[in-house]
Structure 1
Amino acid sequence: MFDNLSKKLNLTKTELKILGFLLLTLILGVSIKLIFGINEKSEVTVYNYEKMDSVFFNIEQNVDNNSEIINKNVDYKQEVFDFNNRSFNKIYTKRLPAEKSINLNKATKQELMNLPGIGEKTAESIIALRDKLNGFKKPEDLLKVKGIGSKKLDNIKKYIYID
């Protein structure tokens, strides 16, 4: 039966099943409405918001009188410190070095970490490679370090030199 109907309507079996379900649901809904006589004219509740509007407008007028509360200067950084258990003394912030100020063959880990895109692990890897090679001969030797590609090398080239 589904095969003949699906060929006549040019629908798949799944589409026919979905169509049948929708029709059955529609018929069931209409029959429930007719049997139980659900009335469309139900009582509508009208809300009066005049009292709430007056409260809102009074608050709005009082805001101008209490402008010192709104313009209060707050030390947000201190509030973060007050609610955070973590120690912020060990946070390391990067300061970009001056151009050609870091000797790649003598730089410390902290100096290397000031270079853009160089973190703690990469700085340690640079020092390890420097020790392995007995010093760098040219800046391109940094490409052998994992995590340093040509773009990163171009970004840090202006800050380093080799003697």
Structure 2
Amino acid sequence: MRKLVSGLLVLSALAIQTPVVNAQESSDTSNAISANLPQQQRIDLNTATVEQLVTLPGVGQSKAKAIIKYREEVGPFLEVAQLTQVRGIGEKMLSKIESYVLVK
């Protein structure tokens, strides 16, 4: 009986861990795919509309408007890393969206 219970516990532990591993592998795959996006499919920060910006991961209406407001007040973006100067966008957010945007 103890062997049966022990075996069930081991199987349960493995079953619980399996979806987590698969989810992480899936996430890594999507990051690799986005990093290889051709430049013509990326969004230009200097010409993007609110509608285009909200398609970026983690960017909603308010962040999209903040990007455009920054662009209007400061001038065109010179590099993608400059996004961290926009209110509400930090290094973590930049790492999520930098492979989807470019500066021409």
Which TM-score bucket, shorter chain as reference?
Answer: 0.5 to 0.7
Listed one character per residue, the Cα deviations across residues 98-135 of structure 1 (whole Å, up to 9, x for unaligned) are 93410110000010000001010010000000111220
Listed one character per residue, the Cα deviations across residues 18-55 of structure 1 (whole Å, up to 9, x for unaligned) are xxxxxxxxxxxxxxxxxxxxxxxxxxxxxxxxxxxxxx
Please show how residues 86-101 of structure 1 align to structure 2 within 5 Å: 99=37, 100=39, 101=42
**In the alignment, is residue 119 of structure 1 matched against residue 60 of structure 2?**
yes
**In the alignment, is residue 135 of structure 1 matched against residue 79 of structure 2?**
no
Q: What's the Cα RMSD here? A: 1.7
TM-score (norm 1): 0.39
SS of the equivalent of 2:88 reads: coil
Computing the radius of gyration from Cα coordinates, the structure with the larger value is 1
Cα distance in 2 for partners of 1:149, 1:134 equals 19
Report the equivalent of 1:110: 51
The structure that is helix-richer by fraction is: 2
Identity in percent: 36
Aligned-residue offset at 1:140: 1.3
- Segments of 4+ in structure 1 off by > 6 A? none
Aligned-residue offset at 1:141: 1.1
**Across the two proteins, how many residue pairs are aligned to each other?**
67
> 1 or 2 for the larger relative contact order (CA 8 Å, sep ≥6)?
2
Please show how residues 40-51 of structure 1 align to structure 2 within 5 Å: none
